[in-house]
Amino acid sequence: MTAALVVDSLHLSYHTPNGPVPALRNVSLSISSNEILGLVGESGSGKSTMAQAIMRLVKSDVATIDGHVLVDGQNLYQLSPEELRLTRWKKISMVFQSSMNALNPVLSIQEHFKDTMEAHIPGISRKEIVERTSDLLEQVRLNPAIARNYAHELSGGMRQRVVIALSLALDPHVLIMDEPTTALDVVVQRSILDEIADLQQKRHLAVLFISHDFNLVSGLADRIAVMYAGEIMEITDRGMALEHVQDHHPYTQGLMRAAPRLNGTKVSIEGIPGEPPDMTQLTPGCSFYERCPMRMSMCRTTPLPTKTGSVYVRCHAMPNTETEKVQTSEF
């Protein structure tokens, strides 16, 4: 399949009084048309920063960015500000974490769609805007009548559906979804996930779905990328993610075991011992070294192997290396 989104060797370092602090380190991935790639990792691993960097929302006075982001073969970092404005929402769009903050409280839902369409479709009539708005709202299972409402008059799930509908207003090829179900109850969450899968299939979208919940992503995505300390540690397909835990990167194994599991009448959760690394004091070796139960002496000083392809694991200890067993402690 053709890659709709290609991220190639993306580096991002934030400017601080003490010098540059890396947030993304040599990140590369691609998403084909009609594919969902899940991106998982702990808070602070760089997931949202990556989404903003792909959309070119990080200002140059805040961070230094190197690498390439291609949408349908077009490098977003070579576009002028006006070209970029026209490309966003038309070729690539984004659903942000907080639906309440994404909607302007003084504009009705209809006015949100009107502003978006008028900014990108010169000469579009009011009738066309109303018809397209109604159709988009119906696609996310909302009554078109809510177009007259304001954000505060809608529930959290309804607001999230509105934001998803807005992201699809100009028929983009690539859709980034940054924790789109955060703070929603499990019933609404399941409903929205079903709608995302349905819309993705109907529109043949390339979707980057970001979450900290491995189980949630594994039930939705075709492939899963695992991020830690600004690096992609592993990309696995859904089938592999649901079985053979021992075949995954040690960090991925930790995320899988950290998901709540029903054990008889009790819910068991196994945390990952330790803390994420200080990004100002990274060593040349694996950033997961201090927390890894499979670490070897070489892992501290030897950079992770560079791998490419649709599925891979970046780990010195996998798949057939003698490991040094270390003692770990629970949180």
Task: Tell whether 144 is covered by a domain.
Answer: yes
Task: Tell whether 117 is covered by a domain.
Answer: yes
d(CA 111, CA 15): 37
Instruction: Tell me the residue type at 147.
Output: A
Tokens encoding 275: 């803390």
User: Average per-residue pLDDT in the chain?
Assistant: 89
d(CA 23, CA 162): 31
- The Cβ-side half-sphere exposure at 248, using a 13 Å CA radius, reads 24
**Looking at the whole model, is its pTM more than 0.75?**
yes
Count of beta carbons in the 10 Å neighbourhood of residue 190 = 14
Radius of gyration of the chain (CA): 21
Inter-residue contact 182 to 151 (CB < 8 Å): no
| pLDDT digit string, tens, across residues 178-216 | 998 877 788 888 888 999 999 999 999 999 999 988 888
Inter-residue contact 76 to 88 (CB < 8 Å): no
Inter-residue contact 69 to 77 (CB < 8 Å): yes
Task: Tell whether 240 is covered by a domain.
Answer: no
| pLDDT digit string, tens, across residues 291-325 | 999 999 999 999 998 888 889 999 998 854 333 33
Inter-residue contact 54 to 225 (CB < 8 Å): no
Beta bridge partners of 237: 223
Task: Tell whether 225 is covered by a domain.
Answer: no
- Whether the predicted pLDDT of 225 surpasses 60: yes
Task: Tell whether 203 is covered by a domain.
Answer: no
Q: Please classify residue 244 by burial: count the beta carbons closer than 10 Å to its beta carbon, then call 0-12 exposed, 13-18 middle and 19+ buried.
A: exposed
Which residues span the domain enclosing 122? 102-171
Task: Tell whether 134 is covered by a domain.
Answer: yes
Tokens encoding 264: 């008889």
Task: Tell whether 130 is covered by a domain.
Answer: yes
pLDDT at 322: 37
**Buried (b) or exposed (e) across 54-67, using 16+ Cβ within 10 A?**
bbbebeeeebebeb
| pLDDT digit string, tens, across residues 244-269 | 777 899 999 998 888 766 666 666 67
Give the number of domains in the chain. 1
